[in-house]
Each structure stands twice: as C-alpha cells, then as structure tokens.
Structure 1
Amino acid sequence: MSEVKESIWTKDFIIVSVINFMSILMFFLLMVTISSYAVETYSVSTSIAGLVSSIFIIGTLVGRLGAGRLIGAIGPQKILLIGLIGLFIMSALYLLEWGVGYLLTIRLLQGIAVGTIGTATGTIVAYILPASRKGEGIGYFSLSAILATAIGPFIGMFLMKLENGFDVIFYLNIILSVLILIGFFFAKITITMKKVDPKEEKKLSLLEKFIEPKAIPVSFIALLIGFSYSGVMSFITFYAKQIDLVEAASYFFLVYAIVIIFSRPFTGKLMDSRGPNLIVYPCIIVFALGMVLFSQASAGWMLLVAAALIGFGYGNFNSIAQTVAVKVTEPHRFGLATSTYFILYDLGLGVGPFILGFIEPHTTYRMIFTMMIPIIIICIPLYHLLVGRKQKAL
C-alpha cells in the first residue's frame, strides 16, 4: 500500500508531463526557426530576428507572473485550461502574414500562453508527487521539458529543409495544440489549494504576492545559465553555416537529448539521497567545458561531443535547480516558487538572443559563444554563496 502512495508514474503525472512536453516542443520548434523565417519573409536585421525569437520568452514571463498569482485563487487546473486554449488560438494565427509587427505580437501572446501552461503543470506536479521522491519526480517531469528543447529544434531544422517548410511547422503546431487540449480532459486532477488567511495576505509585500523570495537565489543562477545557453538555442543555424558544419549541427539536439535521457534518472535519485550540491557543481563545470568545445568547433565530432557535454551539464542543472526552488518553499506557495524560477530562467533565455543579436555584427558567433564561458564559470562561486552552502540532503 505504501508503494502505491509513493508511486511517481500516475496517470495524471504522465498526462501533465506530456502536455508540458508538447507545449515546450512547440516553443522550441519555432525558437530555432522563427529567426530565419523573419529574415526570409520580412528581410529584417539580425537584431530584429533575435527579438522575434526572444520576445516569445518575454511573453512567458508575463504568463508565469500572472499564473503564479492566480493559481492560489482559482487553482492550477483552470489556469492550465486557459493556457491551452490560448496556445491553440495563437498557433493558428501564425498562418497569417501581416508584417513583422504582427509576428512579434503573436510571438508575445503565444509566449504568455506557454508561460501559463508551464507554471500550471509545474505546480500540479509539485503537489501530486510524494515528498520522499520529489527530486526524482521533478527530474522526470523536467525531462519532458529538456527533451522538448532538444527534439523541437531537431524537428524544426529538419522541416526547414522542406519546400514550404515554415508552413509545415505552423500546421504541425496547430495539430499539437489541439492534441494537448484534448489530453487535458483525460486527466482527473483534484488539487485543493490552501486558502490564505486574509490577515497573512495583508502582511505580504506587493513583491511577495507575485514572487517567492526563497526561490530567488537559485533562480538567479538559472537566469545566468539560461542566458549562457540562449545563443546556442537561437543562433546555431547561423553559426553552423559560418563554420561550415550544417550537417553535424542538424544532429546537435538529438545527441543533447540522448545524453539527458540516460543521465536524468540517476541525477534525480542522487538529488533526493545526497542533496543538490553533488549534482550542481559538476553540471556547471561540464556545461562550461561543453561551451568551450562548442565555441571552438572545427569538425563535426567536436560539435557533437559539445552537444553531449552541454546536454549533461545544462540539462541536469535545470531540473535540480527547479527542485531546489520548490523544496525550500511552503506547499501553499509552490505555484509562486515555480513561476519565480521560470520567470528568471526565461528572462535569461529571452534577453540573451536580443543582446547577442546586437553584438553579432561587430564580432563572430564563435567569439560570442566564447564570451559565454566566463559567465558559466562565475556561476560556481555564485551558487555556493547564494545557495550551495545552505544546502544539505533535502
């Protein structure tokens, strides 16, 4: 009987994880292709193409901020449904070509929908997982997101090679948005949110009503890590052409995903038994090594080894950091902790391509990725100072 209670793989957990996977798959399917679409369709500059890519993530910030606050009032189930409906509508509107301003607006609004969905699914999972296996469970759940960040770009880069590839991508997103909306109604999620005492609510500052302060330290590290990775995600197609490794680059995210699949199960278990530090420090180091190899790649094998290192380092850091953000928080603020983590993490991913797009005309992509290495390395002492020294086996 106790084994049943401690089970991770319930029907609701699987459905919510699939919803999370497919919504983020749509996110990253467009993330690596929309810059090229903007350039080819509207002849925009590199910086504007970067904005078209990154404004989606700015939208997720807005979605997460609102969802984190509203979850406590109306529950994560209703918030999830609202996000799924919004995602379907915005996905359909990509079929219209009404100028770059329209494209930026759709990207922003779809980002709000994805941010809403991500916050809702993350909160639901934090509630339904058993406490003794929360690290392992969130590890598997975040695997759905990390796999989407790998498979989405892989599919996107493949479809771009087809005639009318962008249209195929847009129609695929519509189909996926319909499927996950249908999937929602197969789950029977019953989460009763703890009612916050009005007196306690009045004691909270305006910031505390939207942000979980306890989750900020680890979320700030995630912001820096996300910023360091954002250029890989948004500009790998341009970089691959510049260094003449287009074919190898098409397999980059596939290798990245395979490494995560095989490493995630044991990193989550180690988190639960030994605490986060045992995983976080090596992950940051491996991520830095991967970026060194990525920035200096001159052969296909170098790019693919870099994909493996980045997959292990960057991919596993995110699940552990998300778990820390939730575990240091009271249950009735899981929604805010989840949104706080992803607000800062997404901010790093969103601002990165826009800033790097301005830098690119004055340098090379190789130099841009080299510049990310010290940012990753500085996360080691920062993590120790802000988070690591306070952590034990949770």
Structure 2
Amino acid sequence: MNKPIWTRPFIMTVINNFFMFLVFYSLLTILPVYVLDDLNGNEGQAGLVTTIFLIAAIIVRLFAGKILEVFGKRKVLLAGIFLFCIFTFVYPFVNSFFLLMVLRFVHGIFFALCSTVLMTLAADMVPAERKGEGLGYFAMSMNLAVVVGPFLSLALLQILPFKMIFLGLAVVLLIGFACSFGIEVVEEEKTKVSPKGRMTLEDIFEFKALPIAFVGFLTSLAYSGIMSFISVYAKSLGLFESVSLFFVVFAAIMLLSRPFTGRLFDRSGPSAVIYPSLVIFAIGLFMLSVTHTTGLLLVSAGLIGLGYGALLPSYQTMAIQKAPKERTGHATSTFFIMYDLGIAIGSFALGIVSSHLGYSSLYVVCGSIIIITIAAYAWVSKKRRGRQLETSEA
C-alpha cells in the first residue's frame, strides 16, 4: 500500500510555499508600476527591482545548502519566513528608489532561503516511491500563485493604494509564518566539515545534480521569454487585453495536468514525461511566434502550460533523487541556482534579441533553445542509464 502524500506537515509546507510565491509574484507585478507612478522612476529602474532581487537570490543559493546543514532546516525555516515577512512590512515606508533597491536585495536573500528550505522539506516528506507525484503537487502551489498573485494585486490596485496592498501581503506572510510551526522537521546527521572550516565547492554544489540542473538552466532561459516579454509582445499585436487570459489558460492547464504527469513520472520514469513535455513546449513557443489572434495566443498558452508545467517538478525530482538524503538541501539549491541564472541571463539576452530581431523572432529563438534542451537531456539521460547499468552489473 502506498504511503500517503497529503500529511498535515506536507499540507502546511504547501500552504507556506503558496503564500510565499503569491507575495513574490504580486510584488513582481506591481513594483514596476510603483516605481513609475509613486517614485517617479523610469522603465530601466522599473526592471532593476526584479534584477536586483534575483541577483541576491542567486548569491544566497550558492550557500543555501551549507546554511541548512550548519543551522538546521527548522531554524532556517522559521527565521527565513519570519524575516521575509518582516521586510515585506517595510515596503510601505520606502520613499526612494535607492532604498527600494536595498530592500529588494535583502528581500531576495530571505526568499532564496525560504524557497530552498521549503522545497527540501517537501522532498523529505514525500515517500520515495511517489516523489514525482508528490513534488508535482508541491509545485502546483507555485503555479497557482502565478495566477492568483498578479490577478489579485492588479485588481486591488484599482481600489487601494500601494501601501495598503503591501501591508496586506505582509499579513499573508504572517499567516504563513504561523502555519510553519505545524511543519515537523527531521534533521539529518551533519556531514563531515571541510578542513580548517574552509568552504569547498562541495559546500556550494551537489555535483550529482549539476547535469539535470543544466537542463533546467536551458529550459528557464527559454521560459524567461514568456515571463519578461509576453505582455509587450501581446501589446504589439493589439492583443494586450488577452494577456490575463493567457496566464489563466497557462496555469489552468498546468494544474489539470500535474497529477497525471506526476504519476507517469513515478510509474514510467522521467523520460516518459520530459521528452513529450519538451516537444510540446517547443511547439507552443513556435506557435506563439506566428500568433496574430486571441485564439492562437490562448492555444499557445495551453501548449506552453502543458509542456513547461511538467518540466520543473520533474527536473527537481531528478536532482533530489541523484543526491544522498543528507544532501537534499544542496541538490535543491544547486538546481535553483541554475534555474534562476537562466531566468536572469534570459531576461537580459532575449531583450537584446527582441530589440534587434523583434518579438516574433524572439519566440523562434526560445523554441530553438528548447530543441537544444532536448539534445542536452538526451545526453543526461544516456549518462544516467549508463550509471544504472554499471550499478546493476556490479
């Protein structure tokens, strides 16, 4: 009989993750408007509020695995969520762009710690034989936040000032912090400490997770084209009013397909999910490049949601499965370092592509990146099968 996934600690972990990403995506949506309207900034400054956040997150993820190992998951969980909440309360009192940048950098630090520890805890709680399904459900909390966060924050912006929305988001995190006390944490035995207390590359990376993390990097590189440019692309086509529907369809397809793809991962292995998902994702991106009607835009959204939605939890599961149990935190941080790096580099590099070739060509480039990703995953999968064969013969 299969062990249950939906235990009380797992549910509390999912709720916490949802609240954290709801705040993340809400701020991602309204802060550029806040910079332009209330702080009298320009478009470049509006983009920097996201860039500086991601830079902080990437830097901290380099050490997140070691931090979890040294301080323990429970302490990092409680301190991380509490401080992420406290600094959200600071937003209403920021009255200059410089102070906002400082706050975003600090906020990015605690976001990186919270997201790493929550993912690590979820991986610890899910039974080994149901890892794909369980982590797929966990990832649904992020998918739901992608829609609820921007939709809710933009709707509230029509009736409330920015400062009230910031306070409301902080209260949401306060509820999440209360829920975090219901998460039972099992600490692993500490691994050997580096000689003379020096940091080594093993303290930063889980090398066994790097190959699939690189595949995740390529995937997020292509996905950054959706995150950063879909709104302006739709506006250039005269379809700006359909952008909200794009994200609704995108998220709905992800949520509906997640239980099926998670079970398929556990039953038939990662390749049964990843190959079809990459192909569907590429088709969606190529279709997006020739979109000129709302119908085509929404079909593209469905294909991209179906393809991309199964990839992130599949990669995460593979990264965690490759690492020893006591190195789950390192594997998680390694994966997120590469994933965040793909988003950060993609947002910048694809912006240059769009300025020279246009948005339609941008999505051809994104689709081509996914074709390269298929080849990269085939190499990783071949190496994985080779190691499994060596193990079975030994």
Same fold judged by TM-score > 0.5? yes
Equivalent AA in structure 2 for residue 324 of structure 1: M
| Correspondence for 2:9 | 12
| Correspondence for 2:131 | 134
| Correspondence for 1:373 | 367
Post-superposition Cα deviations, 1:80-99, rounded to whole Å, max 9, x if no partner, equal 11111221122122213433
* 8 Å contact kept, 1:290–1:309: yes
RMSD over equivalenced CA pairs, Å: 2.5
The whole-number CA distance in structure 1 between the counterparts of 2:108 and 2:349 is 19
| Correspondence for 1:180 | 176
| Correspondence for 1:85 | 82
1:340 corresponds to which of 334, 343, 362:
334
* 8 Å contact kept, 1:228–1:375: yes
1:52 corresponds to which of 30, 33, 49:
49
* 8 Å contact kept, 1:237–1:246: yes
| Correspondence for 1:197 | 192
The whole-number CA distance in structure 1 between the counterparts of 2:154 and 2:223 is 18
Post-superposition Cα deviations, 1:349-380, rounded to whole Å, max 9, x if no partner, equal 22332334455544533333332121121100
The whole-number CA distance in structure 2 between the counterparts of 1:82 and 1:113 is 9
6-15 or 167-176, which moves further after superposition? 167-176
- TM-score (normalised: structure 2): 0.90
2:219 corresponds to which of 207, 213, 225:
225
* 8 Å contact kept, 1:50–1:353: no
| Correspondence for 2:297 | 303
Distance 1:204 1:77, change over 3 A: same
Say whether 1:288 aligns with 2:286. Answer: no
The whole-number CA distance in structure 1 between the counterparts of 2:268 and 2:373 is 21
Equivalent AA in structure 2 for residue 266 of structure 1: F
Aligned counterparts, 1:94-113, within 5 A? 94-113=91-110
1:205 deviation in Å?
7.5
3-state SS in 1 of match to 2:89: helix
The whole-number CA distance in structure 2 between the counterparts of 1:14 and 1:72 is 24
Equivalent AA in structure 2 for residue 241 of structure 1: K
142-151 or 76-85, which moves further after superposition? 142-151
43-52 or 57-66, which moves further after superposition? 43-52
Post-superposition Cα deviations, 1:237-274, rounded to whole Å, max 9, x if no partner, equal 33332222122111222111211111111111111111
- TM-score (normalised: structure 1): 0.90
Distance 1:214 1:121, change over 3 A: same
* 8 Å contact kept, 2:63–2:203: no
The whole-number CA distance in structure 1 between the counterparts of 2:4 and 2:89 is 38
| Correspondence for 2:209 | 215
The whole-number CA distance in structure 2 between the counterparts of 1:332 and 1:109 is 28
| Correspondence for 2:391 | none
| Correspondence for 1:329 | 323
Distance 1:139 1:201, change over 3 A: farther
3-state SS in 1 of match to 2:92: coil
3-state SS in 2 of match to 1:195: coil
Say whether 1:279 aligns with 2:273. Answer: yes
Equivalent AA in structure 1 for residue 233 of structure 2: Y
Distance 1:327 1:305, change over 3 A: same
Say whether 1:154 aligns with 2:138. Answer: no
The whole-number CA distance in structure 1 between the counterparts of 2:161 and 2:378 is 45
Equivalent AA in structure 1 for residue 335 of structure 2: Y
Equivalent AA in structure 2 for residue 89 of structure 1: I
Number of residue pairs matched by the alignment: 388
* 8 Å contact kept, 2:73–2:187: no
226-235 or 278-287, which moves further after superposition? 226-235
| Correspondence for 2:166 | 170
The whole-number CA distance in structure 2 between the counterparts of 1:370 and 1:48 is 28
83-92 or 52-61, which moves further after superposition? 52-61
Post-superposition Cα deviations, 1:57-92, rounded to whole Å, max 9, x if no partner, equal 222223323321111122211111111122112212
The whole-number CA distance in structure 1 between the counterparts of 2:283 and 2:236 is 22
| Correspondence for 2:392 | none
Say whether 1:319 aligns with 2:316. Answer: no
The whole-number CA distance in structure 1 between the counterparts of 2:39 and 2:155 is 22
Distance 1:205 1:93, change over 3 A: closer
Structure 2 residue runs without a partner (length 5+): 389-394
| Correspondence for 1:22 | 19
* 8 Å contact kept, 2:65–2:203: no
| Correspondence for 2:63 | 66
* 8 Å contact kept, 1:79–1:120: yes
Distance 1:168 1:292, change over 3 A: farther
Distance 1:270 1:71, change over 3 A: same
Structure 1 residue runs without a partner (length 5+): none
The whole-number CA distance in structure 1 between the counterparts of 2:353 and 2:25 is 23
1:235 deviation in Å?
3.2
* 8 Å contact kept, 1:277–1:391: no
* 8 Å contact kept, 1:63–1:114: no
169-178 or 222-231, which moves further after superposition? 169-178
Equivalent AA in structure 2 for residue 384 of structure 1: A
67-76 or 40-49, which moves further after superposition? 40-49
The whole-number CA distance in structure 1 between the counterparts of 2:35 and 2:351 is 14
Distance 1:214 1:111, change over 3 A: same
